[in-house]
Structure 1
């Protein structure tokens, strides 16, 4: 269990669950088929912002965390970010529905599932009491970590906010 820090290589074995967005399953009540998303492979040659929330559809995550990333997508793209992804312990169906509820289409933001908080536990950033993913943000630039911060104050969205990530780019 090693916390990621700037300069570290992003782990080579990170696989999330994911339901790709599609026009035919774009309605919130439509279900897609979950697939494995090999983040280590997909992100190896890209600049990525990964932010984590304790749970989809929860108040802090839905009101204070997600909207900042949606609003700042153009600014993140201007800073050279290829992929913005959010991860939570929720299953891929819930994550897909949360993306649709936020009117995110296509691959504007990837809504990834970290089943059993496996990845978050591997970097020491899972909540041991609840088993959920912690609230954090990581910038990965061509396989190297450039920014990695976890919120230590309950309900806070400071170090993992879109503004904090933008300031680090």
Structure 2
């Protein structure tokens, strides 16, 4: 499969991994389980953001915080969820599970400021399967490239990959907001 672009259908077999927190105790992580993105994205407008790694300086300080800070603006433009993916395992990206899937992240997400009830979710693109499938790898071993995609009820309406590993221009919250 080649890189996705505006107008393409989002693939029907995309799964990420997440490790739900069994209760309010952040040390009580559940077993990592699949998150069927193709199914969960149906009927929703989702911003899918890929970063090279959790807690890395560019991702942690520059790329992810504007998505959390500006979620209200994204929501005003019809966005239901922002999903942040990295090749880190599900425990690092762990997300607290609640019945309604309106979750707060623990691991990297909690440290990044995603509050309880947040619709900014942190998941693992385990072994970079999805990013590799679309050819958007960082070129630094098994790391995702930095990119952003908007999926509206199964159709890609925006998909851009950064030209450099450290850049946050076409994949940043401001760029995505300007295209919604």
Tell me the TM-score normalised to structure 2 length: 0.88
Q: Which structure's residues are more often helix, by fraction?
A: 1
In the alignment, structure 1 segments of 5+ residues that lack a partner are: none
Partner-residue secondary structure (3-state), 2:20: coil
Deviation at 1:20, TM superposition (A): 3.5
Counterpart in the other structure of 2:7: 7
Partner-residue secondary structure (3-state), 2:24: helix
Query: What is the aligned counterpart of 1:161 among 153, 156, 172?
Result: 172
Deviation at 1:21, TM superposition (A): 5.4
- Give the distance between the partners of 1:18 and 1:131, measured in 2 at CA: 18
- The 8 Å contact of residues 158 and 164 in structure 1, kept in 2 or not, is answered as yes
Partner-residue secondary structure (3-state), 1:120: helix
Superposed counterparts of 1:91-102, under 5 Å: 91-96=89-94, 97-102=107-112
- Give the distance between the partners of 2:167 and 2:22, measured in 1 at CA: 33
- The 8 Å contact of residues 92 and 108 in structure 2, kept in 1 or not, is answered as yes
Matched, 1:16 2:16: yes
Counterpart in the other structure of 2:44: 46
- Two-structure CA RMSD over aligned residues (Å): 1.4
Tell me the TM-score normalised to structure 1 length: 0.93
Matched, 1:88 2:89: no
- Give the distance between the partners of 1:127 and 1:16, measured in 2 at CA: 18
- Give the distance between the partners of 2:70 and 2:154, measured in 1 at CA: 23
Deviation at 1:31, TM superposition (A): 2.4
Deviation at 1:129, TM superposition (A): 3.5
Counterpart in the other structure of 1:144: 155
Deviation at 1:22, TM superposition (A): 6.4
- Give the distance between the partners of 1:98 and 1:22, measured in 2 at CA: 17
Superposed counterparts of 1:126-145, under 5 Å: 126-145=137-156
Superposed counterparts of 1:27-106, under 5 Å: 27=26, 29-96=27-94, 97-104=107-114, 105-106=116-117
Deviation at 1:32, TM superposition (A): 3.0
